[in-house]
Amino acid sequence: MSDNKYAQVKLISKPDNLLKTIYTACRTCYSSDSPLNIYECENAQNEEKMLKLISKVISSGHYSTIEHIQISFAISNISRACSHQLVRHRHMSFSQKSQRYVKEKEQFEYLIPDTIENNPELKAKFEQFMGKISDFYLELTSAGIPAEDARSVLPNAASTSMVASLNLREMIHLANLRLCTRAQKEIRILVKRMCDELIKEEPWLKDYLVPKCERLGYCDEDKSCGRKPAKG
């Protein structure tokens, strides 16, 4: 399975005036002017000036100013193993496809981990096994077992989809944690694609949507992957 078989991610919603809102928030803290005047002032029409200030504020770690921006993603083709990791981010909002209410009618979709994909024999067995699970699931639902109970045979590999939203502060935190090579490959690819979608529209964010070691200057995990040295 090539990487493009992993998560499908589409940015579906962001504020209509992202930069001006952050800029207004940053300036409001230090200005005697009203936020509405700041919002409508000359500087707030000048992208370059706004970016310069915003960049300085984020670098100082004053992240509350970027909480005002929330973005939403349509995500599909991730495994339930991956979604169980993602929903542990408690500052995020999720609307996930329910295995209780959505009954599978035919072979459920699933993800094959690369390590299995790369071994033709195991891959064939894996696919065959997914077929057997599907057969048993369908036997259970045909026998009148409700979907919410029949799903107990479905594997972690089964795919799910969701709408997920988060503010820019949590987006940077998510990237810092989950782009680290210690994160599992599937969620790393998912988060990378979320970042790519956002950077396509807001290129100035690319310096912040990086593994944590890039922000810290060192690796704080047990073992460094080599990208940055271990903490002295």
Catalytic residues: 178
DSSP state of 158: B
Contacts of residue 58, Cβ cutoff 8 Å, sequence gap at least 6: 65, 66, 208
> Binders of its own copies among 208-227, rule CB under 8 A?
216-218, 220-222
- Residue 1 interacts with its own copies (CB under 8 A): yes or no: no
Nearest approach, Cβ of residue 95 and its own copies (Å): 4
Instruction: Mark the segment that binds its own copies (CB under 8 A) among 47-55, 75-83, 188-196, 197-205.
Output: 75-83
Instruction: Mark the segment that binds its own copies (CB under 8 A) among 46-54, 77-85, 190-198, 200-208.
Output: 77-85
Torsion of CA 173, 176, 180, 182, to 10 degrees: -30
Residue among 24 and 208 whose Cβ is closer to its own copies: 24
Residue among 30 and 203 whose Cβ is closer to its own copies: 30
Nearest 5°: phi and psi at 20?
A: -65, -35
- Residue 134 interacts with its own copies (CB under 8 A): yes or no: no
> Binders of its own copies among 13-32, rule CB under 8 A?
13-18, 20-21, 24-26, 28-32
Residue among 203 and 217 whose Cβ is closer to its own copies: 217
Distance CA 29, CA 141 (A): 58
Q: Which of 51, 53, 153, 210: binder of its own copies (CB under 8 A)?
A: 153
Q: Which of 2, 4, 88, 120: binder of its own copies (CB under 8 A)?
A: 88
Instruction: Mark the segment that binds its own copies (CB under 8 A) among 46-54, 143-151, 188-196, 198-206.
Output: 143-151
Residue among 51 and 89 whose Cβ is closer to its own copies: 89
Question: Which amino acid, 96?
Answer: Q
Site string for its own copies, 179-208 (x = CB under 8 A): -----x------------------------
Can you give 184-229 as a three-state secondary structure string?
A: CHHHHHHHHHHHHHHHHHCHHHHHCCCCHHHHHCCECCCCCCCCCC
- Residue 49 interacts with its own copies (CB under 8 A): yes or no: no
Residue 211: left (phi > 0), alpha (psi -120 to 50), or beta? beta
- Residue 146 interacts with its own copies (CB under 8 A): yes or no: yes
> Binders of its own copies among 90-119, rule CB under 8 A?
90-91, 93-102, 104-105, 110-116, 119
Contacts of residue 35, Cβ cutoff 8 Å, sequence gap at least 6: 24, 25, 27, 28
Distances (CA, A) of 207 to 1, 168, 172, 190: 30, 13, 10, 18
